[in-house]
Structure 1
Amino acid sequence: MNFSMPWFEIPVADIERAAKFYATLFQQEFKIMEAMGMKTAFLPIDHQKEGSGGSLTQGEAYQPGSGGTIIYLQVSNSLEEALGRVKDAGGQTLLPAIKIPDGYMAHFEDSEGNRMGLYSKDA
């Protein structure tokens, strides 16, 4: 059996603040939409390539926090550059970039209090 993760949702308390945080981090705009009593901002995805997609989601059942699953988001450029934008965006670095066998990883807390990971092939 193969495992894949086609979709994930990052819980947020304030969609506008969270969209601004991730827009600053990834240097891309996030469009906020409302449907089914929730507010959502979709993370960029290349539908021509295999991979997963996800969203920032605000709703009654979505509670951000630092004690759950850590989702790693891949950056295409330098991990250090992305980490440098975390504080400016309203978050904080929890684990600085460290070398792992196939690249680099780091942890940060986003504007909503979620513990998240970053991954890059380059430091």
Structure 2
Amino acid sequence: MKVTIVGALIQLLCSCGDNSKATISESKIEIMMKKSNPVVYFEIPVNDIDRAIDFYTKVFNFDFEKETIDNNEMALFPFSDENSGISGALAKGEIYKPTKDGVVVYFKVENIEETLRLANSRGGKTLYPKTDNGIGIVAEFEDTEGNRIALYQSKN
């Protein structure tokens, strides 16, 4: 018998708690999975949270909310339920190590050339120049902390 991810989710959800009557049909879970995007949050590792906040504020004009979560310094990116997309945080702590070799986060921008110019003028470094990839326009830069960050601009 082949176990599917959806089947495993049903088993997990139905086995949780004391309610033996709790059931979720496989088709309902499939519908829920299709209606939501799989990635919901990201964290960008930083060594100097204030320097990183300054960089991202000046490059993207973001406002951050600083928090301490599980003894880690966090600067939360803006988030609004009304807008599409996800949000995340700049994260400083023992487990956070900036790198150009890991996951790449893409930020949607209106003007990719201007954003690259701002990143470079604030201590960043272009890693991948503005390129039309057929779907949109992309570029990558290294932030002040040593992370590879990507930009996306729609063609419209």
**TM-score under structure 1 normalisation?**
0.90
Tell me the CA shift for residue 64 of structure 1: 0.6
* Partner deviation per Cα, 1:52-74 (whole Å, 9 max, x = no partner): 11110001111111111111111
Tell me the equivalent position of 1:62. 96
Matching residue of 1:4? 38
Q: Give the number of equivalent residue pairs.
A: 122
Matched, 1:82 2:109: no
Could you say what the CA RMSD is over the residues aligned between the two structures, in angstroms? Answer: 1.7
Deviation at 1:80, TM superposition (A): 0.6
Distance of 2:102 and 2:69 partners within structure 1: 25
Point out the structure with the larger helix share.
Answer: 2
Equivalent position SS for 2:56: helix
Contact 1:37 1:59 in 2 (8 A): yes
C-alpha contact 2:107 2:150 (8 A) present in aligned 1: yes
Asked if residue 71 in structure 1 is aligned to residue 75 in structure 2, the reply is: no
What TM-score comes out, normalization by structure 2 length?
0.72
Equivalent of 2:59 in 17, 21, 25: 25
Partner SS, residue 97 of structure 2: coil
CA contact (8 A) 2:62 2:77 kept: no
Identical counterparts, % of pairs: 37
| Matching residue of 1:96 | 129
Superposed structure 1 runs of 4+ greater than 4 Å apart: none
Q: Give unpaired runs (5+ residues) of structure 2.
A: 1-32
C-alpha deviation, 1:35, in angstroms: 2.8
**Structure with the larger strand share:** 1
Q: Which ranges of structure 1 fall in alignment gaps of 5 or more residues?
A: none
| Cα distance per residue 1:80-99 (max 9 Å; x no partner) | 11111011221111111101
Indicate the larger mover: 2-11 or 15-24. 2-11
SS of residue in 2 equivalent to 1:72:
strand
